[in-house]
Amino acid sequence: MKRLAALLLIAAVAAPAAAVGLGPLAKQGITDGDGKAFYLTVMNPYDRPAEFFAYPVGLDDEARQERVAIVPDRVRLGSKQNRSILVIARGLAPGETYQFRVCAEREMPEQGTVHARVCSKLSARRIAAR
């Protein structure tokens, strides 16, 4: 019985921490220049203000993507608010398809080891030179 109560308590604490809003979850675009921009939306589903941060990582790993800029990369949102962020992939070579993820997390210093996030998969393709 104590084990069940402990599991229910953990589930109750973890469920609100998992809610992070970012969309769309996948986006692709084509460009004829060396950069491609995307807009993503960060959403605060909470009943209180919260701070969120976004960062770029590899498609299949956690390697930081230095070719990607996010403006702004930190936002403080009021209850049930959302905001667009600009994501720019730079240094695209002619004919290159560059795939990466942008992840958003909520600032939770009180939670310690909780690492709740959501990621969008992005693909930028530069058309080949003629």
> Quick count: other Cβ atoms within 10 Å of Cβ 41?
14
pLDDT (0 to 100) of residue 111:
63
Please give the pLDDT value at position 63.
Answer: 96
**Amino acid of residue 115:** H
pLDDT band at 113 (very low <50, low <70, confident <90, very high): low
Count Cβ atoms below 10 Å from residue 37 Cβ, excluding itself. Answer: 14
In tens, the pLDDT along 2-46 reads 443 443 333 334 344 445 899 999 999 999 999 999 999 999 998
Task: State how far the Cα of 119 lies from the Cα of 123, in Å rounded to an integer.
Answer: 13
Q: Residue 85 forms beta bridges with which residues? A: 40
Say whether pTM exceeds 0.85: no
What pLDDT is recorded for position 96? Answer: 97
Q: Higher-confidence residue: 4 or 110?
A: 110
pLDDT, tens digit, 9 for 90 and up, residues 50-92 = 999 999 999 999 999 999 999 999 999 999 999 999 999 999 9
pLDDT at 32: 95
Residue 11 confidence (pLDDT): 38
Q: How far apart are CA 105 and CA 117, in angstroms?
A: 5
Alpha-carbon span 48 to 120, nearest angstrom = 24
Average pLDDT for residues 110-125, to the nearest whole number? 81
Q: What pLDDT sits at residue 20?
A: 80
Domains in the chain, start-ordered, CATH in brackets? 21-126 (2.60.40.10)
| Pairing of β 97-106 and β 117-126 | antiparallel
